[in-house]
Structure 1
């Protein structure tokens, strides 16, 4: 069906009927073009949550959002994004942000997409700022930074101007909507390899299915049984992955399987952006606690696998250990901070 106006979209959702992928894309196009008022947008978000979103619907939404974003024109070959949906309320430090430097130190380029804190004390933007990074670079400077360092951070609000049509309704609703799922799927550089942590098992499967439909090359999506949207060393994790053999696979991982110590979640707790920045500096400098270091290594190993440097998880963990042990991970942070600050001054 081709919708003549947005009222038809709302009527379909109110009836509890699903949208086909192309219909979902068209529905989101109404929104990103600013053709929908705040009340209609809120009704759309709430109605989709009540009905329950399908993978086809979310894939169509993602296609429309990707078409509306400001792209970063870089060679993404062999590059990976490490991000999460947020919303796990775990209180941990910024694990995926720490892991990005370990992954880059292992020779895998990182194109990370992220935002300020929404539900935690410190989002990726916040902790990078505390680490001396200038995280709010626009597309041309992100491109230059990536070419200089093999690392990039894309601050979501700068690359998704259409979100200005959605944010008032999201704030008014004050609840989780499908945009919490879409965020990690909208990398402005168009990476084909991703590690995505999610707030529940169902969302891990949804994110995998959407990325698969969007023709990602390598995918790892994870939710840990303690609620973390990371690979946790405090619990087992359900993992969906797509590797070199291109066969979608689901399995469960435990930290012990990789020779890692299972810990109490309190050992992974962080604080505000300054506290978390100090934890990251300590881990990259070889001074982190065993618990802090091992969870970063665990997630970095999965990022190295997703990036395609290794098809063996244990070998990827060895690459992560070498990245920290050799000082390459800490050097990546130093170089990245200097490069972004210089670009921000230009």
Structure 2
């Protein structure tokens, strides 16, 4: 019996020694796994930052995109000079009401977070691809669709943090199934609100009449239409009922700005690096186009008017120019796409526009 007892004790000791010997091996494996994860994160960061290092070198962080870690997917940005505030909008991952954030230009502080309601006070859930704060109103692009949702700017500025603001109404730009503008972004210049389209063959179509062979031989697939601000009879929410001009633009457009006879067009889709195309706004044309039941002059943003191309990180959205700086934002750091959280995508950046750009 003693023999069997001694053998059992030795067996237990051997198991205990083997288990103890496994601990360093397990620690080594855990350490290697952590090292591999860190290496992968570094590789991802390098992959998305090194090709656009010139952009980061010439840019400064302005402020962190609000709620970027709480489900907000950034889309639109607009600067309102009367209040010295930035207005931001987009949509929420959980399909709750689309937000508007008001941020101070002076110090980058978030002044308030608001949510959008429809005219009846119900939560308004839209893609909110872009917005413009101008005059008495905030104009918000809908679900890559054919409505501008209009809100009272002063109501937004005076609202309590966390409040909802009701839509005043919509400005319709679908006159028929063949005559409409698929609004994806907005901007303002020279007394006009411009509404622009985003085209991608597979999932974001535009009217066939907007597919045009340009003077440079390019195949443009979208329009950016200028609607004058007006208080005349027939106007609605400060906008004329007729457009004044249109630009033929390339696909994948996310936003646009005008500055010193140049037009800056932000383009992006998925993980590909973004481009901001800078065009000479030459306004030379012998062409017209019928859009929204109105014959208007047609201008072209194509290879014949392209001045230069600025390469940006993936998923750039609307842009805004204030003074001599271009403000850019990306949706890559949102909880929907994530990778931008380790590549610097959670910030609004300001890039100085050099004399070469102008």
Instruction: Give the TM-score range, shorter chain.
Output: under 0.3
More helix by share: 1
- Report which structure shows greater RCO (CA 8 Å, sep ≥6): 1
More strand by share: 2
Structure number with greater Rg is 2
Q: TM-score, normalised by structure 1?
A: 0.27
Q: TM-score, normalised by structure 2?
A: 0.26
